[in-house]
Amino acid sequence: MTRKKVVIGMSGGVDSSVAAIVLQQQGYDVIGLFMRNWDSMADGEFTGAPTTEQGICPQEVDYNDAKKVCDKLNIPLYRKDFVKEYWDYVFTYFLDELKKGRTPNPDIMCNKYIKFDMFVKEAKKLGTDYIATGHYARIKDGKLLKAVDKNKDQTYFLSQVSKKQLENVLFPIGDMIKSDVRKIALDYDLVTAKKKDSTGICFIGERNFTNFLKNYLPNQPGDIVNIETKEIIGKHIGLMNYTIGQRRGLNIGGTDERMFVVGKDLKKNVLYICIGEDNDYLISDSCVVNEINFLGDEKITKCSAKFRYRQEDVAVELEWLDDEVIVKYQGVKAVTPGQACVFYKDEECLGGGIIKEVRKKGQKLWYL
C-alpha cells in the first residue's frame, strides 16, 4: 500500500524537528521544505547583517540545523526562496500599518500568505498529500482547535488562515506539551534539542527593533504628553516604536511612577501616556473589527476572544455588520488597533479579524 506523502515546513527549530519524527512514526512518507523569506543582507548597508559568533547569519544556521535533522532522520530537504512574496505581502503590510500608528502582527499575515499559501503551492509540486508544520494547534473534524499545551497554543496566529487553506494540513505536535517535545528531540540526539525558541518578527528574527525599523521608516522624535495633565514630560524617538499598554523603554526620568503608553496623535506627532496600569484611559468596552476570517459554522453572537497573544480569553458579544463586527466586552486594558481579535468557542478557534478602532460607551477613543 502506497504511503501518504507529507511535506513539512522545516524551520531549523525543535518543534518542526519533532513534528517530522511524529509523522515518520505515524507512517507517512516525509519530505522537508525550508523556506527562506528574508534577505539577510537587505539591511546590511545600514547596520550590518546580523551574524552569530561564528560569523554566519542566523537564517543560514537554521537551514544548516534543518539539514542536519533531515539527514539524521533520512528525510530529503528542499529549499525555496519566498523573499519577494514575503516583502510584498507581509513586510510591506507591516510597514504600512506602522505608518498609520497601528501595531501590526506580521506573524499572522505570514501564515496567511506564505506558510499556508506559497508553501502549499510549492508542496503540491512535490506531489504531496498533506502539508505539516510545527505549530501548536489541532485540527479535528475540520475545526481548528487550541493545542493541548495552552501555554504554547498558536491558534491566535492562525486566525487569518481560511478553511480552504486548512484542508489537508497536519499539526503533529498539537497534542503534545513542550517539555515532551524537547525530550523526544533529546532522545533522538537532535542538534535542535536545546535550541532556543525563535522570537522577534516572523522570519526576520531577533533584532534591535528601533535600529532595524529606522532603515525603512525614519525616526521622527516628538513630545511625550501626560494625557491627564497635558504636561510634556519627555521625548519619544518615533511613534512606530511604541504600542498601547507599553511600560518599558519610555525613558522618562525623574519619577518612580509606573507609566503606560495610552495613545498616539500622528498629526501632532505626540505620544500619550497615563499613570497607573488600572488607569481609566487604558480601558475600553468595545472595538470594531474588520478583515474578518470566520471559521465557524454559523455567526454566533456570544463567545470569547483574545485581543493579543497570551491574553486570557475574554467573554464578548458580537454584533455582525456587512463586513465588520462590533465586539462588546466588559472593561479590557490596552486593546490596540492593528492587532488581531481572535474568537473562540471553548477549544475551537473561530477565526477573527483586525482591530480597526477602539471605543468606550459607543464612542471612538480620540487618542487611539
303 is catalytic: no
E strands, the chain, in order: 5-9, 29-36, 77-81, 130-132, 137-140, 143-146, 169-170, 222-226, 232-236, 259-265, 270-275, 283-294, 302-306, 314-320, 325-333, 340-345, 348-360, 363-364
Q: What angle do CA 364, 277, 209 make, to 5 degrees?
A: 80
Contacts of 96 (CB under 8 A, 6+ apart): none
- Quick check: 301 and 345 in contact, CB under 8 A? no
Grid look-up 484542508 returns 167
Question: Pick from 353, 340, 265: which is nearest to 103 by CA?
Answer: 340
Out of 70, 202, 303, 341, the active site residue is 202
Out of 110, 274, 287, 349, the active site residue is 110
- Cα gap 342→308, rounded to integer Å: 8
Q: Parallel, antiparallel, or unpaired for β 222-226 and 363-364?
A: unpaired
110 is catalytic: yes
Residue 61, Ramachandran bin (φ over 0: left; ψ between -120 and 50: alpha; else beta):
alpha
Catalytic sites, residue numbers: 110, 202
